[in-house]
Structure 1
Amino acid sequence: MSGTHVEAWAEKRVVISADADALADSVATRFLGRMSKRVDDDRIAHVSLTGGSMGAAVLQAASRSARRDRIDWTRVHFWWSDERFVPRAHADRNEGQARAALLDALDIPEANIHAVAASDEGIDLDAAAARYADELARFGTDGEPWPSFDVCFLGVGPDAHIASLFPDRPEILITDRATVAVRDSPKPPPDRVSMTRPVINSSQRVWMVLTGADKASALGLALAGASYASVPAAGAKGRKRTVFFVDGAAAAQVPPELIDGEY
């Protein structure tokens, strides 16, 4: 292994759990600990959620925890890295999934839940993306028109997409705005709103959660420093931490020296 590869990988951590259930519990425990520390210091936390089966599983595990109700959720704001542009009650909406898994069980002001507009609310896709950018700008920090997320959760597809930023498409290259309208998505539904890479990479911690042997290649390419234009997961980077939380099947191609047994 060349020194160049080691340097490229050094800033990314891989944390392995035995299976999907253990992974969800492990990430949920870390998430609740992170929120507790943040709000106990009398600070506001911004969290960006993701969709998918593991995104829901982590939130469900957090909801089951006894620690859940010991956190002051009035100091936490929830966002989504992307959303499917479908009617509000549609099963494909990431917002609905997150509400059912955790948010509806929290003592949290509705104003702290920042959802993308839905397709049945008299707004078109471009306007929905622009409205979400405006909402992000209300909480801008560090001179940027968006908050710095304490934790940004991301799923990773078998094609290595993150949020609704897919390989070899123009959306992954956009840097001059906070959000983008995505049409003709390679994965249904076709219309989506996504945060752009600069917003994701302004996060303090980017936590990518992935399971299954079909994700092993994407993980390997992301760790190897592949071009983010073709491997979007390779371009996701937190300011303090970039962590891949994976199960044993997804970790099949991870070199032992990249595995973090302590984080």
Structure 2
Amino acid sequence: MTTDIRHAEVEILPDNDAVAEKMAEILIEAIHRKLTSGAPVARIALSGGSTPKRLFEILARPDMAGRIDWKRVELFYGDERHVPAGHADSNHTMALKTLLSHVPIPPGQVHPVPTAGTPAQDAALYQQALQKAYGSDVLQKGRPLFDVVMLGLGPDGHTASLFPDQPVLGEKNLWVSTAAPTHVPHERVTLTYPALASSDLVVFLITGKGKVPMLKRLREGDPSIPAAHVTSDGRILILADRAAAGETP
């Protein structure tokens, strides 16, 4: 059964660190559950931002990293800025510095978004990488592409790089496409709604008082914001801190 944002579970935690700690436990549990089911690997879609950075720092701690069988984890990205490899604005650069260089994950099981060609060319290459990992060119109900998808929420209601008024919002077939928002730096390569929907669990990580109005609209399922159109073949969970929820300390 497809879950939409109006049926998302919501958990309010004290602060950014608590959200990151909770997400770490969710990831560890999801990976363990998938691997003990007999599956060869667990596939995770990472996101960028301040809360994921803190999450990566937590997962890199020896006590946490030791709880994950990294040799059976495949990592992808929900979106990426179309910048050269190693660029400071790259989600992969941040993940590499804070997490990937500290844990024993085989390099071939980390899948950064290619950025050497045009955005359209690189989106096509990333879709091919996802299809190879999935073992099919067609997404199938009951066989999710991702075990966990991590998402954020922008002040304009975007998530991944699904920005308002971008053609990618109408994409029904491609798994990966592009966006060229004019109000933020860099063109983007992003997963589409169909790819995000092929998930066992989608988790929104939302922190900070600046997110109060947009989080309220997300929870109401406001159709005018892109994030509200995310669905999952499994569950959707919103992890927010008290500041983002508008709760006083």
- Alignment TM-score > 0.5, same fold: yes
CA distance in 1, matches of 2:78, 2:6: 25
Q: How many aligned positions are there?
A: 241
Alignment of 1:180-259 (within 5 A): 180-188=177-185, 190-227=186-223, 230-252=224-246
Poorly superposed stretches of 4+, deviation over 3 Å: 7-10
Which amino acid in structure 2 is aligned with residue 16 of structure 1? I
Contact 2:24–2:58, Cα closer than 8 Å, also in 1 = yes
Contact 2:10–2:237, Cα closer than 8 Å, also in 1 = yes
Identity percentage of aligned residues: 32
Look up the SS of the partner of 1:139 in the other structure: helix
When structure 1 is superposed on structure 2, of 38-47 and 105-114 the one drifting more is 38-47
Task: Compute the displacement of 1:65 (Å).
Answer: 5.5
- Normalization by structure 2: what TM-score? 0.89
Contact 2:4–2:232, Cα closer than 8 Å, also in 1 = no
C-alpha deviations, 1:89-147, integer Å up to 9, x for none? 110010111111211222121111111112xx3x2221111111111111236842896
Structure 1: gaps of 5 or more residues: 1-6, 254-263
Which amino acid in structure 1 is aligned with residue 148 of structure 2? V
- Normalization by structure 1: what TM-score? 0.85
Structure 2: gaps of 5 or more residues: none
When structure 1 is superposed on structure 2, of 156-165 and 213-222 the one drifting more is 213-222
- The alignment yields a C-alpha RMSD, in angstroms, of 2.1
CA distance in 1, matches of 2:233, 2:55: 22
Contact 1:162–1:233, Cα closer than 8 Å, also in 2 = yes
Is 1:50 equivalent to 2:47 in the alignment? yes
Q: Determine the structure 2 residue equivalent to 1:261.
A: none
- The change in CA–CA distance for 1:9 and 1:88 in structure 2 (over 3 A counts) is closer
Which amino acid in structure 1 is aligned with residue 189 of structure 2? V
Look up the SS of the partner of 2:50 in the other structure: helix
When structure 1 is superposed on structure 2, of 201-210 and 218-227 the one drifting more is 218-227
Q: Determine the structure 1 residue equivalent to 2:66.
A: 69
- The change in CA–CA distance for 1:97 and 1:9 in structure 2 (over 3 A counts) is closer
CA distance in 1, matches of 2:156, 2:135: 32
Alignment of 1:86-165 (within 5 A): 86-118=83-115, 121=116, 123-140=117-134, 143-144=138-139, 148-165=145-162
